[in-house]
Amino acid sequence: MVDYIVDGNIAVLEINNPPVNALSIHVREGLLTGIQKANQDGSVQAIVIIGKGSTFPSGADIREFGKPPKEPWLTAVGEAIEASEKPVISALHGTALGGGLEVALFSHYRIADERSRVGFPEVKLGLLPGAQGTIRLPRLTGLAVAMRIITSGDHINAPEALKYGILDKLISGNLLQEAKTFAKSVIGKPLDNRRLSKIAVRDAATVDKHFDEALAEVKRKYKGMIAPVNCLKSIRGSAKLPFVEAARLEAALFRELLTSAQSAALRYSFFADRSAPRWKLPSGASIENTKPDIIKSVAVIGAGTMGSAIAICFIRVGIPVLLVEQNDKLLQNALKNIGQILQGSVKLNRITADQRKQSLQILRGETSLDIVSDVDLVVEAVFENLKLKQEIFARLDKICKPSALLCSNTSTLDIDKIAVATNRPGKVAGMHFFAPAHIMKLLENVYGTHTSPSTVATIMDIGKRIGKVSVLVRTCDGFVANRMNRMVGNEAVFMLEEGALPQDVDRVLEDFGMAMGPFRVTDLSGSDVGWRIRQERAKEQGIQLTYETRFVNGERYSSLPDRLYELGRYGQKTGKGWYRYEKPFARTAYPDPEITDVINSHCRSLGIERRVIPPQEIIERCLFAAINEGFKVLEEGVAEKPENIDIIWQYGLGFPRYRGGPMFYASQVGLKTIYERVCYYYDAFPHSSYWAPSDLLRKLASHSTEVPIDQWTSKERSRL
């Protein structure tokens, strides 16, 4: 894994551990042996460390964390590098990250390909750069820059790294040749002033000020996360303590993080990010064996909230869009709105004015469907009404060329019921964007019974092209996100009837780490949306909903949200919802005594006695109900693996990444506990049938030891 090559008086240690040259145990052993060998070899006068393939090491091997650590640890390897009597030059290319950058900081010199990037992304894994990165970097850059680089985890490009003193020289030609030439030029020069452990932090006197400022910033930006705080404590140690003591403190802070639930969740999330887009159908078709069609043009039908933002997703990556609305007034409004959104992106420096112009040049608005005959892909985003969608799909089927894919942005409707309206069910699928679609990263792609593998390959591929995290799910009511999230909404409202207030529920879930509690979310999207869906469903079923309605088809029902609608409290858009706002569309939510009165009088009129609802019950009723549904989603094969569900929650529903997602969280709570509590609530609330425990959950919980999350589906689903 580390090749030892001697060329004249230079020993080259070439790390060869594809794909990213992670510093796995064999690499660490190879580096240590290489340094020792080169120091013993009388013909060698300098040592170059370089990566083979596309990159210098991009970090420690993340898969080794959580397993018993194997020596030599990276710190020991690094200390041998620094102690070398012969100059060691790290020659960087690609992405020299984490432990890779630490290897470079142990070296006496660092040169780098001018296109390379460096950084300490450990914080994103819930860790800190634990091989002395937090105490070596400040010695080069000063405290403020080191704090920013380490707590953000951002990559720094080579010219910037040169400016900060992290690098000694940039190389534009052959890196290895240049590294050897550089090595020759430093032979015989004193090394102590190149050993970072011998150098002081130049602005150590200002550490308390930098620490306080940075701490306030990370507490605001990374609420609830412990890694950024430990990073800062360790950097403070670099300035306040002698080097050896600072290293000891760093190791202790690193250990605390390594064994934390947050780091386990973030490491899981790292691999889940990479695994979720790798789709596989029950037929065996998969990303490995199916080619996507090339999409060169798109039509978006319906230019409302979603359609307009979906159009932006395509045009900003250079894919032309035909946007179709019912009439010219609505169309012109939408085009104006799109222009304004893009203008906002220019202001925020997300795109340039030129990019905005180019995007708008490839957007064309129309009021007739006939215009879409030539596009490769249609995304329909009209009202959530099955009959309307079926009519539109029937027409599209006639108008569009036979190879075109017809997709719906429906948030709940069965894709199969839409596909039957066409003669091309293999080319019909769901592309479920999340609001605001131009910002939210998630794309929940939905396949139906007849959706072909190449259609799936194409929607997954186009999702990636437009910068989304695409996850494939099978069609069902609400798919994964809305199906599971419905339980959160229901339980939240039921708890209002039983004793909680909106701000109580939201606070508990936000303290847990959710981006927003369910009531703040409803106020943002508008409670009129849910009201319309409830009324429509009741109409379909011939049911009359009143304030006294407490059960619908035997299921518990709360009319509290309907009362809100009748009061015109639609949320932010009317300046009043579950909260009060200073004016319509204002963002800051204030608890509203009027809402307390509405809830109290609702309870009185229905004879419901209110009680105190403890925070743990709020967590359990909202999250355990969703988790139970998640297991049903897995047992039905709606989602192929737990990672897919967790990625959907992280990118679509604001679940804290440092808790991994609801399924990973369940694995940390323990499936026995989850199962027991689900059974308890099913007993307590028999009229909320979603509490009926999932078979998969029951079976997994029945094992004498916890079944690891990566075995949930393989171990039990096939036997159900």
Ligand X SMILES: CC(C)(COP(=O)(O)OP(=O)(O)OC[C@H]1O[C@@H](n2cnc3c(N)ncnc32)[C@H](O)[C@@H]1OP(=O)(O)O)[C@@H](O)C(=O)NCCC(=O)NCCSC(=O)C[C@@H](O)CCCCCCCCCCCCC(=O)O
Using alpha carbons, select from 447, 442, 391 the residue that is nearest to residue 414. 447
Q: Is 571 in the site for ligand NAD (CB under 6 A)?
A: no
SS3 content of the chain, % helix, strand, coil (to 5): 55, 10, 35
Shortest spacing between CB 299 and ligand NAD, in angstroms: 10
Of the pair 397, 646, the CB lying nearest ligand X is at 646
383 touching ligand NAD, by CB under 6 A? yes
183 vs 431 by CB, closer to ligand NAD: 431
**Is 330 among the residues that bind ligand NAD (CB under 6 A)?**
yes
**CB of residue 163 to ligand X, shortest distance in Å:** 22
DSSP characters over 264-304: HHHHHHHHHHHHTT--B-TTS-BTTT-PPPPP--EEEE--S
| Catalytic-residue membership of 102 | yes
Which residue from 58, 410, 559, 688 is in contact with ligand NAD, where contact means CB under 6 A?
410
| Smallest separation (angstroms) from ligand X to the CB of 79 | 11
359 binds, among ligand X, ligand NAD, none (CB under 5 to 8 A by kind): none
Q: Is 438:409 a contact under the CB 8 Å cutoff? A: no
Q: How far is the CB of 58 from ligand X (least distance, A)?
A: 3
Smallest gap from Cβ 689 to ligand NAD, in A, equals 24
Residue 685 CA to residue 498 CA, distance in Å, equals: 12
Q: Which is nearer to ligand NAD, 97 or 440 (CB)?
A: 440
The closest of 107, 117, 275 to 713, measured between CA atoms, is 275
**Nearer to ligand NAD (CB atom), residue 305 or residue 549:** 305
What is d(CA 24, CA 28) in angstroms, rounded to the nearest whole number?
6
Q: Which is nearer to ligand NAD, 433 or 557 (CB)?
A: 433
The residue with tokens 């914080």 is 123
Q: Sheet containing 169-171: which strands, arranged edge to edge?
A: 2-7, 10-15, 46-51, 88-92, 109-113, 169-171
DSSP letters, 179-224, are HHHHHHHHTTS--GGG-GGGS--TTGGGHHHHHHHHHHHHHHHTTT
Cβ at position 508, least distance to ligand NAD in Å: 24
284-313 positions binding ligand NAD, by CB under 6 A: 301-307
For 705, the 3-state DSSP assignment is: coil
**What whole-number distance in Å separates Cα of residue 398 and Cα of residue 280?**
31
The size of the chain, in residues, is: 720
Residue 92's H or E segment, with its range, is strand 88-92
What minimum distance in Å lies between the beta carbon of 155 and ligand X? 8
Catalytic residue among 102, 250, 380, 491: 102
Instruction: Please say which residue, 104 or 521, places its beta carbon nearer to ligand X.
Output: 104
**And the tokens for 343?**
């203008």
- How many residues contact ligand NAD, by CB under 6 A? 23
Pick from 473, 426, 480: nearest CA to 281? 473
Considering CB distances under 5 to 8 angstroms, the limit depending on partner class, which of ligand NAD, ligand X, none binds residue 61?
A: ligand X
- Does 488 engage in binding with ligand NAD (CB under 6 A)? no
Partner in contact with 234, chosen from ligand NAD, ligand X, none, beta carbon below 5 to 8 Å by kind: none
Q: Which of ligand X, ligand NAD, none binds 130 (CB below 5-8 Å, type-dependent)? A: ligand X
Instruction: Please choose, out of 419-427, 431-439, 443-451, 496-504, the segment that lies near ligand NAD by the rule CB under 6 A.
Output: 431-439
| Residue 271 contact among ligand NAD, ligand X, none, beta carbon within 5 to 8 Å by kind | ligand X
Measured CA to CA, the distance from residue 87 to residue 403 in angstroms comes to 63
Q: Which does 324 bind (CB under 5 to 8 A by kind): ligand X, ligand NAD, none?
A: ligand NAD
In 3-state terms, what secondary structure has residue 460? helix
Mark residues 508-527: x for contact with ligand NAD by CB under 6 A, - for none: -----------------x--
Q: What does R_g of the chain's alpha carbons equal in angstroms?
A: 29
Q: Which does 121 bind (CB under 5 to 8 A by kind): ligand X, ligand NAD, none?
A: ligand X
Other CB atoms closer than 10 Å to residue 70's CB: what's the count? 12
384 is a contact residue toward ligand NAD (CB under 6 A):
yes
CB-nearer residue toward ligand X: 97 or 201 = 97
- 138 cis-preceded (ω within 30 degrees of 0): no
716 classed as catalytic: no
What is the DSSP-derived secondary structure letter of residue 621? I
Give the residue closest to ligand NAD by C-beta: 304
C-beta of 22 vs 104, nearer to ligand X = 22
Cβ burial, residue 15 (10 Å; 0-12/13-18/19+): buried
Residue pair 155/118 in contact (Cβ under 8 Å)? The answer is yes
Closest contact distance (angstroms) between CB of 271 and ligand X is 6
Compare residues 307 and 425 and give the one whose CB is closer to ligand NAD: 307
Two structure tokens written together for 279: 């789709």
Give the nearest distance from C-beta 99 to ligand X in angstroms.
Answer: 3
Cα(36)–Cα(47) distance, rounded to whole angstroms? Answer: 11
In the complex, least distance from residue 425 CB atom to ligand NAD, rounded to whole angstroms = 19
Interface with ligand X (CB under 6 A):
19-20, 22, 58-63, 69, 73-75, 95, 97-99, 102, 121-122, 125, 127, 129-131, 133, 251, 254-255, 258, 271, 274
Choices 43-51, 404-412, 483-491, 632-640; region in contact with ligand NAD by CB under 6 A: 404-412
CA distances from 16 to 22, 97, 98, 162, 520 (A): 9, 16, 17, 26, 51
For 31, 126, 491, the CA distances from 518, given in Å and listed in that order, are 52, 27, 10
Under rule CB under 6 A, residue 341 binds ligand NAD: no
| Residue 251 binding partner per list ligand X, ligand NAD, none, with a CB distance cut-off of 5 to 8 Å that depends on partner kind | ligand X
Question: In terms of DSSP bridges, do strands 363-366 and 321-324 run parallel, antiparallel, or are they unpaired?
Answer: parallel
- Listing DSSP states for 31-69 in one string gives HHHHHHHHHH-TT--EEEEEESTT-S--SB-GGGTTS--
The answer to whether 382 contacts ligand NAD (rule: CB under 6 A) is yes
Residue 326 touches which of ligand NAD, ligand X, none (CB < 5 to 8 A by kind)?
ligand NAD
Q: Residue 383's binding partner, choosing from ligand X, ligand NAD, none, with beta-carbon cut-off 5 to 8 A by kind?
A: ligand NAD
Report the nearest approach of ligand NAD to the CB of residue 312 (Å). 13
435 binds, among ligand NAD, ligand X, none (CB under 5 to 8 A by kind): ligand NAD
Whole-angstrom distance, CA of residue 508 vs CA of residue 227 = 22
SS3 455: helix
Pick what 643 binds: ligand X, ligand NAD, none; C-beta below 5 to 8 Å, kind-dependent. Answer: none
Q: Which does 63 bind (CB under 5 to 8 A by kind): ligand X, ligand NAD, none?
A: ligand X
Q: Largest alpha-carbon pair distance within the chain?
A: 93
Strand ranges for 553-641 from DSSP E: 555-556
Binding ligand NAD (rule: CB under 6 A), the pick from 152, 230, 411, 688 is 411
Q: What is the contact mask toward ligand NAD in residues 433 to 472, using x (rule: CB under 6 A)?
A: xxx-------------------------------------
Cβ at position 537, least distance to ligand NAD in Å: 13
Spot the catalytic one: 79, 82, 122, 250. Answer: 122
Q: Which is nearer to ligand NAD, 383 or 551 (CB)?
A: 383
Residue 105: Cβ within 10 Å count? 25
Q: Give the shortest CB-525-to-ligand X separation in angstroms.
A: 33
Q: With respect to ligand X, which residue has the nearer C-beta, 22 or 310?
A: 22
Torsion of CA 472, 478, 482, 488, to 10 degrees: -130
Note the residues at the interface with ligand NAD (CB under 6 A): 301-307, 324-326, 330, 381-384, 392, 409-411, 433-435, 525
Active-site positions read: 102, 122
